[in-house]
Amino acid sequence: MEPLFLAKGWADEMVALVGGKSPVSTGRIADPSVLEPPDLIVVALCGLDRATSAKELRSKPFPSWWRASPAVKAGHVYVVDGNQMFNRPTNRLLDAMEWLGVVVANPAAYDSIEGFPVEAFDSLDAGAPPEMSAIEAAIFAAHAAACAANEARYNDPATGYGVFTAKYLMDRQACCGNRCRHCPYGHANVPLEQLHLIKTKNTLTSSVFLRAPKPSATGCLGYRNPKPVHGELRDAVVVFWSGGKDSLLALVDTIEALNSAREDIVLLTTFNPNEEVVPVQNIDTRTVVAQANAMNLPLFLVAVCASMSMFICPCGSIPTGSNYKELVDDALREIPRVRMPHIRQIKALVVGDLHLQDVHDWRVAAFPEYEIRSPLWRRDMHSDLLPRLGTLCDKYNATVRYSAVDRDRMPPSIQEGDTYDPTLVPATVDVMGENGEFHTVVHFG
């Protein structure tokens, strides 16, 4: 619930049609306490069924604005199967609107439509999930109280030791790799051989910003962002980083083009929080964090739901859903001053598009307020990009492997995890996989 996202698009229209009123016109709410307190709350999480949504909702501390709202005090909070009923443009939206009309008129009749996937949600006194043990519930309550009081730590009810809160760790903008109980980064930097020591591994469920791990050190690409100077405000270039070979080529070209310009480079990656992977690319977020660490660059991981992430068409992958653009826009607005106080503005967005005109046009139309840089655009793959990729892999000790393979268009001899060898790609397939035949991941070292 931090930040809070309100359903928009057709959900707004549905609410209005049944006589309800949405509090604001934007989906992302940084401070929900400034809103008019809701009389009715319907939780319809994207990509999750009713039971999973209720469990996810109970896994987080309830903020003060939630507990103080008339809806919560009156017991008018309902969890529905958002994935099935509200978040897809199907005929089920009519069933959802029928139910919404009933519950807006009379919240007590929430279960009057037989078969509708809904449950009443009581969070006012429940606090922790019911399956928690007594000590787990005590930890949950202590952590919630510390977060509400904006405290950096609380004393563990069992041991008395100090424990950092998720909010404090989020403000640090780094996963320390020490298996912190409330790590908001999904324990991304905990060594693989130590993951089994964590009683409950945290999942990466929301957007997080990670600063460059060693600001004064040079990354594996021989580059680091300029050292901040007191009082200096700089521009930043945001590279849309998918984790594959095209991103690497575009990033290195961007670094070389900067020369001595005092501009920062920031990586931005969207991921599916339900699976902790980059949509379509099939690269897990842990790998993306490892890439950013190796290159010593800041990384913004932006959570998007699977159902709003990508539409796969014969000519490539185009992000769909108004929420995708909204979430990325919000992230871009947060980078200057908020995530990186020394950044004045985002100067340009860098993408790894090769030759798909519709994808390129979509980006330009979706982000008109930014300069879109496409350093690989229309460059010859065989005489230019592929030789350059080989040179970069040798220079930076990098390996490119297949992360996703379309089994209908690729031969069985090429499997996920195999090293990418363009000479083995069939002549009937785009050698760079630009049409979605395959995707790649870059490993350093």
Instruction: Find out whether 242 and 281 touch, Cβ atoms under 8 Å.
Output: yes
pLDDT in tens, 14-61: 888 998 887 765 566 766 766 778 889 998 887 677 887 887 777 666
pLDDT of 399 reads 98
pTM score: 0.74
Residue 413 exposed, middle or buried by CB count within 10 Å (0-12, 13-18, 19+): exposed
pLDDT of 307 reads 44
CB atoms within 10 A of CB 5: 19
Yes or no: domain 4-120 corresponds to CATH 1.10.1740: no
**Cβ neighbours for 241, distance < 8 A, ≥ 6 positions apart:** 247, 251, 267, 268, 269, 288, 291, 292, 299
Lowest mean pLDDT among 214-228, 320-334, 387-401, 406-420: 320-334
What are the structure tokens assigned to 359, written together? 């994808």
What is the rounded average pLDDT of the residues 294-318? 63
Q: Is the pLDDT of residue 154 over 90?
A: yes
Beta bridge partner(s), residue 336: 340
What is the rounded average pLDDT of the residues 206-213? 91
Among the listed residues 308, 304, 345, the one whose alpha carbon sits nearest the alpha carbon of residue 327: 304
Q: Is the pLDDT of residue 372 over 90?
A: yes
* 1.20.1300, 3.40.50, 3.30.70, 3.30.390: CATH of 208-373: 3.40.50
CATH 3.40.50-classified regions of the chain: 4-120, 208-373
pLDDT in tens, 230-241: 888 999 999 999
Instruction: Find out whether 376 and 384 touch, Cβ atoms under 8 Å.
Output: no
User: CA-CA distance, 335 to 164, in Å (whole number)?
Assistant: 25
List, as one string, the DSSP characters of 143-190: HHHHHHTT-SEEE-TTT--EEE-HHHHHHHTS--SS--TT-TTTTTTS
| HSE (side-chain half, CA atoms, 13 Å) at 35 | 23
Q: Indicate the average pLDDT of the chain.
A: 86
Lowest mean pLDDT among 212-226, 313-327, 369-383: 313-327
